[in-house]
Amino acid sequence: MSRALVFFLQALLAIAVLGGLFAQVVVIPTTAADEVELFPPYESVRVPLVVSAIVFIACLQVLAVALGGMLHLAGRGTVFESGALTWTNLAIGAVAAGAVVLAWLFVYVTFADIPSPVDGMETLGLWMGAAVGTIAAVGVALLLVIGRHWLRRAILQRAELEQVV
């Protein structure tokens, strides 16, 4: 993989991490405060939803760091070495943690009495989004586990091939 492409992709991941940090510090708290100002009954659910959003974005940031590490290995041509498993494990952990956050959000929205200014469709949308997101995140985590298994096998086969040669 060319160094320019690796650098470009790592720069995009760094921008994504910084954008996530901006969202965690500015956008999410400000938006939540604005929504509470427009509809005061939202105050009762403000903290759990804001914390969920901030933690979920942190999971995405950790995933971006893991992908950046894998890109670094790809740029050096050392993807099939044991260090790649560390980055893969970090990616799996980040996606699994995101799935846990989404599952918690699904359970919270299911049992919390969330007020609605109109007809409850925003609550239904949040509930459905959390459900679908949980399923998708679990699926991605399982795919990453399979990829880690393939990577481990490739590392072992490369080590065997190096012994033969």
Residue 162 has pLDDT above 90, yes or no: no
CA 131, 135, 141, 143: dihedral to nearest 10 degrees?
A: -160
In 22-159, DSSP assigns E strands to none
Averaged confidence pLDDT in the chain:
94
Using 50, 70 and 90 to split pLDDT, how confident is the model at 2?
A: confident
Is the distance from CB of 88 to CB of 147 less than 8 angstroms?
Answer: yes
DSSP state of 41: G
Maximum C-alpha span of the chain = 71
Residue boundaries of the structural domains of the chain: 3-164
**What pLDDT score was predicted for residue 47?**
96
Give the pLDDT confidence score for residue 159 in this predicted structure.
86
**Cα separation, 44 vs 127, whole angstroms:** 17
* Tens-digit pLDDT profile for residues 108-146: 999 998 888 888 888 999 999 999 999 999 999 999 999
CB atoms within 10 A of CB 126: 17
Q: How many CB atoms lie within 10 A of CB 94?
A: 23
Average pLDDT over residues 97-105: 98
141-164: average pLDDT: 93
pLDDT at residue 95 in the model = 98
Give the CA dihedral 111, 117, 120, 124, nearest 10 degrees.
Answer: -70
* Mean pLDDT value across residues 135-158: 96
Confidence band of 44 (pLDDT split at 50, 70, 90)? very high
Amino acid at 111: F
pLDDT band at 21 (very low <50, low <70, confident <90, very high): very high
Dist. CA 157–CA 144, nearest whole Å? 20
CA distance 143 to 121: 32
Contact 88, 148 (CB under 8 A): yes
Arithmetic mean of pLDDT, 94-118: 94
The whole-number pLDDT of residue 94 equals 98
Band (150; pLDDT cuts 50, 70, 90): very high
Indicate the residue type of 158. R
CA distances 145 to 99, 116, 138, 152, Å, are 14, 40, 11, 10
CA–CA gap between residue 150 and residue 137 (Å, rounded): 20
The whole-number pLDDT of residue 120 equals: 81
- Whether residue 1 is predicted with pLDDT greater than 80 in this model: the reply is no
